[in-house]
């Protein structure tokens, strides 16, 4: 299939607009029209991973971390980033990254961590704002169901675990068409009154073009009246980190043994125990220190993340246990997550998990 078919599917699950401002997710190297038959999945894109793709006949490498974060001004092979990009271009291998956009969706990286640890009743720890809009439109009563169904099919009307959400009010619309019109109801040059339904529904801003197209195609009027209203509401299904609960509270030492086993980490750097049972657990794959205040406010007993600096550990202030399990360790199951996502949609497409351990951190035990 074409590379664009694969990337379009991944971006339907983790839209690029959900990535953080500093990020560089998406197609980094390659032509969307390139034919592909096999993909290699990896947490990082290193020279060894590119060599593995060449050896196994993979035309695309899908990594969690983008190989390019900042602009490259020279390609002279002095850094591993330059060498990776050069080699990929020479060998015709596409490089695609699905990073913080996959972190920030409900069924992404943090859900996989929560599931691995056995957490229940999970929700986004810090939902994002300004990602939602409201559509208000006016439809003749005879076509209200048809328009609503079209909007729902295009992705409107989803709030949390509820779908097909809308508000509807009856009213009377008036209009008068000039000599250039061909009105669905009424006559040219005469004011017409029509019993209409005012339909209001919510939608993700990134689906706006699709929503408006669905509205126009389903609506019977020659000119479709609608309002688009930006919302500052939280998007409960999109955001950073996750918080969940253990089915049975456990003591802190036992829980860290559990974390070490399930997350396959060699060492856990943590703050002093608070000597309270662990019930609520906050998690964030990768560098999640910016979420500490959210974890405390949500009543978490422990915050599991990575990349904590020495002085940042003091911020726990005895209110919570911070547990740094390592960046690679916190995100290592992302590759398996991607494998399952792709195989579910494209069951006969060849997908390989890298055999290269890309973790740059080694432990002297």
Over pLDDT 90: what percentage of the chain? Answer: 93
Q: What is the mean pLDDT of residues 45-71?
A: 95
Indicate the average pLDDT of the chain. Answer: 96
Per-residue pLDDT of 172-188, as tens digits, reads 999 999 989 888 888 89
pLDDT of residue 120 exceeding 90, the answer is yes
Q: Helix, strand or coil for residue 215?
A: helix
Over pLDDT 70: what percentage of the chain? Answer: 100
Nearest to 100 by CA among 4, 254, 256, 241: 241
Q: What is the mean pLDDT of residues 315-325?
A: 97
Q: Which two tokens stand for residue 73?
A: 């001004």
- The length of the chain in residues reads 365
- Which ranges of 178-234 would DSSP assign to H, the alpha helix? 208-218
Nearest to 10 by CA among 329, 356, 332, 351: 351
State the residue for tokens 């990286």: 109
Q: What is the pLDDT of residue 225?
A: 95
How far apart are alpha carbons 205 and 208 in whole angstroms?
5
Q: What is the mean pLDDT of residues 215-235?
A: 96
Q: What is the pLDDT of residue 195?
A: 95
Q: What is the pLDDT of residue 250?
A: 96
Q: What is the pLDDT of residue 73?
A: 83
Long-range CB contacts for residues 343-350, cutoff 8 Å, separation at least 24:
345/9, 346/1, 346/6, 346/9, 349/1, 349/6, 349/37, 349/38, 349/39, 350/37, 350/38, 350/39
How far apart are alpha carbons 134 and 144 in whole angstroms?
17
Q: What is the pLDDT of residue 217?
A: 97
pLDDT of residue 160 exceeding 90, the answer is no
Q: What is the pLDDT of residue 77?
A: 85
CA distances from 239 to 131, 157, 304, 336 (A): 10, 19, 17, 21
Q: What is the mean pLDDT of residues 164-174?
A: 97
How far apart are alpha carbons 333 and 108 in whole angstroms?
11
């Amino acid at each position: 299939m074409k590379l664009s078919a694969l990337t379009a599917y991944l971006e339907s699950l983790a839209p690029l607009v959900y990535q953080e401002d500093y990020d560089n997710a998406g197609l980094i190297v390659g032509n969307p029209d390139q034919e592909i038959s096999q993909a290699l999945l990896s947490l990082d894109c290193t020279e060894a991973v590119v060599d593995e793709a060449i050896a196994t006949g993979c035309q695309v490498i899908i990594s969690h971390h983008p190989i390019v974060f900042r602009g490259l001004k020279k390609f002279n092979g002095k850094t591993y980033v330059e060498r990776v990009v050069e080699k990929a271009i020479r060998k015709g291998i596409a490089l695609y990254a699905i990073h913080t956009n996959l972190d920030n969706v409900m069924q992404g990286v943090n859900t996989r961590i929560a599931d691995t640890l056995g957490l229940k009743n999970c929700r986004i720890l810090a939902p994002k704002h300004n990602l939602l809009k409201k559509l208000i439109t006016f439809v003749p009563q005879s076509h209200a169901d048809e328009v609503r169904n079209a909007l729902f099919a295009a992705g409107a009307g989803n709030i949390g675990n509820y779908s097909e959400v809308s508000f509807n009010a009856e009213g009377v619309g008036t209009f008068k068409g000039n000599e250039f019109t061909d009105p669905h109801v009424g006559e040219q040059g005469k004011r017409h009154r029509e019993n209409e339904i005012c339909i209001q529904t919510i939608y993700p801003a990134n689906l706006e073009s699709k929503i408006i197209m669905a509205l126009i195609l389903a609506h019977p009027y020659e000119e479709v009246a609608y309002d688009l209203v930006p919302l500052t509401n939280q998007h409960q299904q999109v955001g950073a980190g996750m918080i969940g609960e253990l089915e049975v509270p456990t003591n802190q030492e036992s829980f860290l043994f559990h974390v070490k086993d399930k997350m396959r980490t060699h060492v856990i750097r943590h703050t002093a125990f608070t000597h309270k049972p662990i019930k609520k657990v906050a998690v964030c794959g990768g560098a999640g220190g910016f979420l500490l205040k959210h974890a405390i406010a949500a009543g978490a007993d422990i915050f599991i993340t990575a990349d904590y600096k020495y002085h940042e550990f003091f911020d726990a202030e005895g209110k919570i246990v911070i547990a740094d399990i390592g960046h690679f360790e916190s995100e290592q199951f992302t590759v398996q997550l991607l494998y399952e996502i792709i195989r579910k949609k494209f069951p006969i497409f060849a997908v390989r998990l890298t055999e290269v351990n890309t973790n740059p951190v080694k432990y002297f035990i």
